[in-house]
Amino acid sequence: MLKKIAKSIALISFFWVATTQALPIVQADAFSAGDNKAVLETNTGLVWMDFGVNSHRTFSDVMSSLDTDYAGWRLPTIAEVDHLWTSLMGDLKGWNRWSPVFGGFALIDNNEFGLPITEYDDYLNDIMEVFGFSEEGAAEYSSYEGEDLISTTTYDYRSAFAVFSDAGENGFVVLNLPINSTVGRSSVFTYDGNISLLQDISLQYGTLLVKDSATVSEPTSLMLLIMGLMGLVARNARLRH
């Protein structure tokens, strides 16, 4: 009977993993229990503030509030931002690490991978939802051959954008997801000593802040499912006796 239970659990686990593209992030609390204004990076234990929490404030204003409004939070290191964004985007076809200071993802119509342009839309939308920030707007995409304008497309999009700074190196991460459009989906991680952080207030971007996790994460849905099935199997085994 125990072998049958173990086999059932193994099959369930395999089916769950095979059919779910899991995010390496889950919702977490930032300031109070249940506020869901942060993100827990599950493989590092770091807690990231949602992109939109401080997007109404300038970068310098956020920096001056680290001992007050954002006490306990800090600027992340480049390595921490790199790890976060690479873990989110690194397994997607279309992601390229062109240099140590730049990584980019792009999936456009007629892409070289033979994938539908919407292949990762559910996954990218999930990232937006977990980070709790999705600025929607309209943009225009123009295509040229030489100096000749071929076409212009106006489209709606969702965007997540955040800036960071570490030892004089400024950078940003961005995820752009056009809605119902064949305009390319894109994401960027980059930093450079020459990047000037915008000082004006813009709902399009927030300042990345992070802190070490002080709580133990709750059981995952998979583990809860397995525990529940184990209980059902054990109960059925007792009833048969």
Q: Residue with structure tokens 């300038």?
A: 58
Residue 21 to residues 25, 30, 91, 152, 202: CA-CA distances in angstroms?
Answer: 12, 26, 11, 34, 32
Residue 183: both structure tokens together: 């305009």
On the question of pLDDT at 18 being above 90, the answer is no
Q: How confident is the model at residue 9 (pLDDT cuts 50, 70, 90)?
A: very low
Query: What's the rounded Cα separation, in Å, for the pair 192 and 241?
Result: 69
Question: Angle at Cα 76 formed by Cα 75 and Cα 77, nearest 5°?
Answer: 125
Tens digit of each residue's pLDDT (9 = 90 or more) over 60-116: 899 999 999 999 999 999 999 999 999 999 999 999 999 999 999 999 888 888 999
When divided into structural domains, the chain yields a total of 1
**pLDDT for the residue 207:** 93
**pLDDT for the residue 83:** 97
Tens digit of each residue's pLDDT (9 = 90 or more) over 117-134: 999 999 999 998 888 765
Which domain does 64 fall in, by range? 2-240
